[in-house]
Amino acid sequence: MGQNHPFDKATQLTEETPGVYKGHTSEKYANMIGPFGGVIASTLLRAVLEHPERLGEPVALTINYAAPIADGDFNITATPTRTNRSTQHWYIVLSQNAKTVITGTAVTAQRRDTWSTTEIAFPNVPAAENVALPSIEGAPPWLQNYDIRIIKGAPLALSQTQSNNAHDSTTLQWIQDNPKRNLDFLSLTSICDAFFPRIWVRREKMVPIGTVSLTIYFHADSETLKMNGNREVLGHTRALKFYDGFFDQTGEIWSYDGNLLATTSQFVYYKE
Amino acid sequence: MGQNHPFDKATQLTEETPGVYKGHTSEKYANMIGPFGGVIASTLLRAVLEHPERLGEPVALTINYAAPIADGDFNITATPTRTNRSTQHWYIVLSQNAKTVITGTAVTAQRRDTWSTTEIAFPNVPAAENVALPSIEGAPPWLQNYDIRIIKGAPLALSQTQSNNAHDSTTLQWIQDNPKRNLDFLSLTSICDAFFPRIWVRREKMVPIGTVSLTIYFHADSETLKMNGNREVLGHTRALKFYDGFFDQTGEIWSYDGNLLATTSQFVYYKE
């Protein structure tokens, strides 16, 4: 922890007792209503990482957005529900005014060297410096904290043309913190949620949406994340189905040099 | 509920008070060690579905396998953590001898008619009756309760040849309950976990594995599931990365006639 960056301030927690923390939403990471959900997910994970009994590093994380977060103070409790020899399970709750607002589960583990391989190929993309930065004038504050360069699948509001004739919801984007920040589990978690909603890409218009559940599997340890330094990562995502008020968003995050760092999925409420 | 089938007996719960249930593992759904994880996931979901305060139908489910389940009795508590106008969030715990063994979160919701579409195509596969049933002699009991016809990507133990030269971990399989049973959220949940572990397919050998976390997004309501009757569904899955003791398994379940019913992912511990 302890990088002096707006992201670290936004996810900062004050320990009351082990596993019980106080935090505060950050104006810099505000979304249209309430805070950006990615930073909230990172803050719940941070509660686990700062717990004195934590074993190993994060391997799986699920965050459920149960209700809107009000700007202001919140409480987080992170409880180890089961500790094994090399894995540990967690339940995390963010509450405001004694009401549950966000719940989460996490698995941390001590990894061991094993046979390893990646089955999918790194997408064929231009280098980040060759992709234009879109104008994000009028966008919510949190977007100012990212440098996002969309190679394919920008929402219409960010497209240069009248319509990008979206036949599918696929997006490919280079992304990094702005100002730059060294990649770690916390920033990677946020980046997993930093795609525009798939339905905005597919329908070429903004409609009301809200993530109800987000899952991340980490395919890297902290040493591997460090190797990305403060450079960009590549995000790829798409929806498989939109049906009666909910769609999925399934994606991968790659290091700048082609190492698969995380796979992620979320289920999103929409109104149309 | 209440179909007279071994699956319904295996997932049967006795209510002690609302949200507090007793259950028992089923010999018919035993795995190599302990019960088949898919039936356990279904049993946790059933605790939510039987709760008198439950709102709507399941849309998202995450189950964390924190420790091995011993054969015998268990307790489940299902707690609504937040109830909104059209969505409800749940925390579910399975315990044995007062220790947490499985945790889960679920989201239920009242769906509304909206613009809907499916982006991925139904795989090009032969009809189930044209795919051979593999011999499952010596396989764990739970497999006797499924009719699984593997079109592509069988573990070597089930392959007809010496090696299937697996270049990737993709599996395509028709699957249905045996004896037949009408599809519902509970059986669909189990079917999401009824793939052989990806590493057995990719490495063409059995190695120790254990799912640590399973997530399912339901892309259908109960009326849609009913339309599948007691027919087979198609499962497709693959791993994207195997790394230092954990791999992902990402998949889709389709109705027999090509409707995407669920997308699912899990993160699995392996030893090699």
- Looking at residue A137, its pLDDT comes to 81
- Per-residue pLDDT tens for A48-107? 999 999 999 999 999 999 999 999 999 999 999 999 999 999 999 999 999 999 999 999
Q: Which amino acid is at A251?
A: G
Pairing of strands B233-238, B87-96: unpaired
Structure tokens at B64: 């964390």
- Looking at residue B1, its pLDDT comes to 47
Structure tokens at B212: 């640590």
- Per-residue pLDDT tens for A220-253? 999 999 999 999 999 999 999 999 999 999 999 9
Residue B164 predicted with pLDDT over 70: no
Instruction: Please answer yes or no on whether B267 and A217 come within 8 Å at the CB atom.
Output: yes
Of A60, A82, A217, the CB nearest to B67: A82
- Looking at residue A143, its pLDDT comes to 95
Structure tokens at B144: 């006797």
- Per-residue pLDDT tens for B122-149? 999 999 999 998 888 888 999 999 999 9
Q: How confident is the model at residue B155 (pLDDT cuts 50, 70, 90)?
A: confident
Answer yes or no: pTM beyond 0.95.
yes
Buried b (16+ CB within 10 A) or exposed e, A17-26: eebbbebbbb
Instruction: Please answer yes or no on whether A91 and B87 come within 8 Å at the CB atom.
Output: no
Q: How far apart are CA A203 and CA A222, in angstroms?
A: 38
Give the distance from residue A70's alpha carbon to the nearest chain B alpha carbon, in angstroms. 15
Q: Is A142 left (phi over 0), alpha (psi -120 to 50) or beta?
A: alpha
Residue A166 predicted with pLDDT over 90: no
Of A244, A252, A263, the CB nearest to B221: A244
Give the distance from residue A131's alpha carbon to the nearest chain B alpha carbon, in angstroms. 26
Q: Which amino acid is at A239?
A: A
Higher-confidence residue of A134 and B21: namely: B21
Count of CB atoms situated within 10 Å of the CB of B258:
11
- Looking at residue A163, its pLDDT comes to 55
Share of chain A above pLDDT 70, in %: 95
Please list every residue in chain A whose beta carbon sits closer than 8 Å to the beta carbon of residue B67.
82, 84
- Per-residue pLDDT tens for B79-133? 999 999 999 999 999 999 999 999 999 999 999 999 999 999 999 999 999 999 8
- Looking at residue B138, its pLDDT comes to 83
- Looking at residue A1, its pLDDT comes to 47
* A107, B267 Cβ separation under 8 angstroms: yes
Instruction: Please answer yes or no on whether B118 and A240 come within 8 Å at the CB atom.
Output: yes
Instruction: Please answer yes or no on whether A242 and B117 come within 8 Å at the CB atom.
Output: yes
**Best residue in B95, B102, B217 for a mutation probing chain A (most A CBs within 10 Å):** B217
Tell me what the pLDDT averaged over chain B comes to: 94
Q: Quick check: helix, strand or coil at residue A43?
A: helix
**DSSP per-residue string spanning A115-161:** --EE-SPPP----GGGSPPPP-TT--GGGGGEEEEEEE---GGG-SS
**DSSP per-residue string spanning chain B:** ----SHHHHHT--EEEETTEEEEE--GGGB-SSSB-HHHHHHHHHHHHHT-TT--SEEEEEEEEE-SPPPSSEEEEEEEEEEE-SSEEEEEEEEEETTEEEEEEEEEEE-------EE-SPPP----GGGSPPPP-TT--GGGGGEEEEEEE---GGG-SSS----SS--EEEEEEESS-----HHHHHHHHT-SPPHHHHHHSS---EEEEEEEEEE-S-HHHHHTTTT--EEEEEE-SEEETTEEEEEEEEEETTS-EEEEEEEEEEE--
Q: Averaged over B209-221, what is the pLDDT?
A: 98
Q: Averaged over B51-72, what is the pLDDT?
A: 98
Residues in Cβ contact with B16 at an 8 Å cutoff, skipping those fewer than 6 apart: B22
Q: How far apart are CA A195 and CA A234, in angstroms?
A: 11
Instruction: Please answer yes or no on whether A89 and B64 come within 8 Å at the CB atom.
Output: yes
- Per-residue pLDDT tens for A101-131? 999 999 999 999 999 999 999 999 999 999 9
Query: Residue B264: is it exposed, middle or buried by C-beta count within 10 angstroms (0-12/13-18/19+)?
Result: buried
Please list every residue in chain A whose beta carbon sits closer than 8 Å to the beta carbon of residue B100.
81-82, 89
Please list every residue in chain B whose beta carbon sits closer than 8 Å to the beta carbon of residue A87.
66, 212, 269
Give the distance from residue A164's alpha carbon to the nearest chain B alpha carbon, in angstroms. 17
Q: Averaged over B2-28, what is the pLDDT?
A: 94
Give the distance from residue A240's alpha carbon to the nearest chain B alpha carbon, in angstroms. 5
Nearest residue of B to residue A85, measured between CA atoms: B67
- Looking at residue B98, its pLDDT comes to 96
Share of chain B above pLDDT 90, in %: 88
- Per-residue pLDDT tens for B252-263? 999 999 999 999
Residues in Cβ contact with B230 at an 8 Å cutoff, skipping those fewer than 6 apart: B176, B177, B180, B181, B182, B183
Q: Please count the residue pairs, one from chain A and one from chain B, whose beta carbons lie less than 8 angstroms apart.
A: 211
ipTM at complex level: 0.96
Instruction: Please answer yes or no on whether B265 and A215 come within 8 Å at the CB atom.
Output: yes
